Amino acid sequence: MRQAALGRFRPLQPLKPYICRDCALTATRRTLSQSAVSRDKASSTSWDQHAERIRAGERKSLLTILEERGFIKDLAGDRNALDKLLTDKRVGVYSGIDPTAPSLHLGHLLPMMVLFWMYIHGHKAVSIIGGATAKIGDPTGRLISRQEMDRNTRTSNLVSLHNCVRAIWKSLDRYAEKHGYNKDSAWSKSIQNNSVWLSKLNIIDFLSDAGTVARIGAMLGRDTVKNKMAQGDGMSYAEFTYPLLQAYDWWHLYQSGVQVQIGGSDQYGNIVAGIDLIKHLTPRPSTSPETKQLSGPFGLTVPLLTTAAGAKFGKSAGNAIWLDKTMTSPFELYGFLVGSADADVERYLKLFTFLPLDYISTVMTEHQVDPSQRKAQHLLAREVVDFVHGPEEAANTQNQHKFSRRPNLQTLQTKAADSKEGLNRLYLPRSLVHNKPPARILYHAGLAKSNSDGTRMVNSGGAYIGSQSDENGSDFNGDLKFRSLKGVTAATVTEMMEKSNVLVLRTGKWNVKLIEVISDVEYEQKGLSAPGWEDIRAAKDETSP
């Protein structure tokens, strides 16, 4: 028994040497530090080799790539010096957005695309959200001052915009990898809020630093100031100093290596104000002129995009095309881009995608064979929706558009059963459709805000009904053809509905609704509701015994 008990004990193991916690942490830090040094050394070697290939003419420089794709409107600084700077070393680059709305819109994407190209070529990218400057409002290009937002709205916009910017940065790595730009450990990006430093800025320090650089004559001579004073509602002192606040943003970032600012075409004056401030506040060591130039600030602006018709790009009927899907659906974004004119689409492919230029050229050649197929426009829409919302959303949206253009009733019904397709499908009770005028059906279906709004849409030719046969009864081989509701009677709609208890209505180019008509009893059993349904129910209750 004693031996059996002893057998349960394991032989003693040799003691491990004792290492205190501080020593262990030091050893870990040393290992991590050595690993970081090795990565930095490998990254630096790779950068130097890439720069040598550019100097040897074997590869294009980053600035050349941006110029060829049409990104550059104006440069603040010497072009060759900026080209050399972006080739020789990794530098910080930034662009800013004020949270005047809860989302980015399509127009914001253009300067951000330059920032994205800088990032995937190894430069340090910084997105600034103007939590502080939004309290002032940039007057550039405006005749009427921005309406002052309350604090809650401004805070809500700040949070929402930050999430939107973060989401698109997250999408960027995936989208870049799709086009052959694999993420490197040296890639660096950050999102910063200028409230962090501007809220701590002392007014005396600000005036002694930025205020002494700004010359009143030059500021009064700016087009924004002159136009707003002469043609607009005047300019407040806060608006007048906005360029100095933006300049101070850059001065703050410049101290951590951010040498390049990217802005819209209307931001050149503000960028120059930042350059002047940085040069005024930066010590001037006795170095060569070239070294001074390469260590200084540079700015670039992107062109103002307008369509071939002269409309501002990114606007639809006066409304911005937002990148937040709750404000502009992927379907609407896709539809806006598919509607691009043939004269514009090649330029948009160069600016808003990472597609190679030779591939874009090939696509445009194929597009010219049959422009009615809009091959280039569909490629643009697919790429942008993929970038902003992801590949699955892009594929679903593209399919949805295909069925919107040449839908088949049976296919639409099948797609409607799959909520992922996003098809607008609904049920309506028979009493809201039978012998009702088209304008009223549009209202009940939620396609019009009211009966009068539905009447306006019908009379203006903006509402359509899908049919599988023409007015003479000839079949369309299963395809749906849309005809204008203008002149269509209630009896005609009822006759079309009686064939299959289904109506397909469309407003505009893309907004299609599949309406399944069921009995009033079944509609109530399903617990459904629609505009005007409660009135019908109330009328029935009054007439019932």
Rg of the chain over all Cα atoms, to the nearest angstrom: 31
Highest mean pLDDT among 161-170, 421-430, 462-471: 161-170
What are the start and end residues of each CATH 3.40.50.620 domain in the chain?
Answer: 51-301
Write down the mean pLDDT value for the chain: 84
Let me know: does 336 contact 385? Beta carbons within 8 Å.
no
- Among residues 327, 269, 276, 268, the alpha carbon closest in space to that of 303 is found at 268
pTM here is: 0.73
Bridging pattern class, strands 258-263 and 298-301: parallel
Q: CA angle, 388 as apex, 383 and 393 as ends, to 5°? A: 75
At residue 3, the pLDDT reads 46
At residue 373, the pLDDT reads 87
Residues 6+ apart with CB under 8 A from 140: 224, 242, 266, 267, 269, 270
Is pLDDT above 60 for 448?
A: yes
Helix orientation angle between 375-389 and 151-178, rounded to the nearest 10 degrees: 120
Is pLDDT above 50 for 482?
A: yes
**Average of pLDDT values for 476-496?**
81
At residue 2, the pLDDT reads 45
Give the span between the Cα atoms of 494 and 438, in whole angstroms: 10
**Average of pLDDT values for 480-491?**
86
**Average of pLDDT values for 259-283?**
92
Is pLDDT above 70 for 25?
A: no
At residue 283, the pLDDT reads 79
At residue 15, the pLDDT reads 52
At residue 405, the pLDDT reads 63
Is pLDDT above 50 for 24?
A: yes
Element (H, E) at 201: none
Q: Looking at the domain 51-301, which fold is it?
A: Rossmann fold (3.40.50)
Is pLDDT above 50 for 474?
A: no
Is pLDDT above 80 for 37?
A: no
Higher pLDDT, 340 or 412: 340
Is pLDDT above 60 for 202?
A: yes
Is pLDDT above 90 for 475?
A: no
**Average of pLDDT values for 89-105?**
93
Give the span between the Cα atoms of 96 and 149, in whole angstroms: 19
Is pLDDT above 50 for 7?
A: no
The phi and psi torsions of 474 (rounded to 5 degrees) equal -70, 135
Q: How far is CA 52 from CA 47, 60, 522, in A?
A: 9, 11, 75
pLDDT tier, 185 (very low <50, low <70, confident <90, very high otherwise): confident
**CATH code for the domain defined by 315-405:** 1.10.240.10
pLDDT tier, 420 (very low <50, low <70, confident <90, very high otherwise): very low
400 CB neighbour count, 10 Å cutoff:
22
Tell me the pLDDT tens digit for each residue of 365-413. Answer: 999 999 988 999 999 999 999 999 999 999 988 887 776 665 566 666 6
Which amino acid is it at 79?
A: R
At residue 87, the pLDDT reads 95
Let me know: does 190 contact 127? Beta carbons within 8 Å.
yes
Among residues of the chain, what percentage have pLDDT more than 90? 46
pLDDT tier, 334 (very low <50, low <70, confident <90, very high otherwise): very high
Highest mean pLDDT among 148-162, 403-417, 459-473, 505-519: 148-162
Of the ranges 196-210, 247-261, 530-544, which one carries the lowest mean pLDDT score?
530-544
Among residues of the chain, what percentage have pLDDT more than 70? 83
What are the start and end residues of each CATH 1.10.240.10 domain in the chain?
Answer: 315-405
At residue 418, the pLDDT reads 54
Is pLDDT above 70 for 270?
A: yes
At residue 514, the pLDDT reads 84
Higher pLDDT, 363 or 139: 363
pLDDT tier, 33 (very low <50, low <70, confident <90, very high otherwise): low
Is pLDDT above 80 for 41?
A: no
**Average of pLDDT values for 212-239?**
80
At residue 422, the pLDDT reads 43
Of the ranges 2-16, 359-373, 438-452, 476-490, which one carries the lowest mean pLDDT score?
2-16
What are the start and end residues of each CATH 3.10.290.10 domain in the chain?
Answer: 425-542
At residue 163, the pLDDT reads 95
**CATH code for the domain defined by 425-542:** 3.10.290.10
Is pLDDT above 60 for 32?
A: no
What single-letter DSSP state applies at residue 58?
S
At residue 305, the pLDDT reads 82
Residues 6+ apart with CB under 8 A from 375: 363, 366, 367
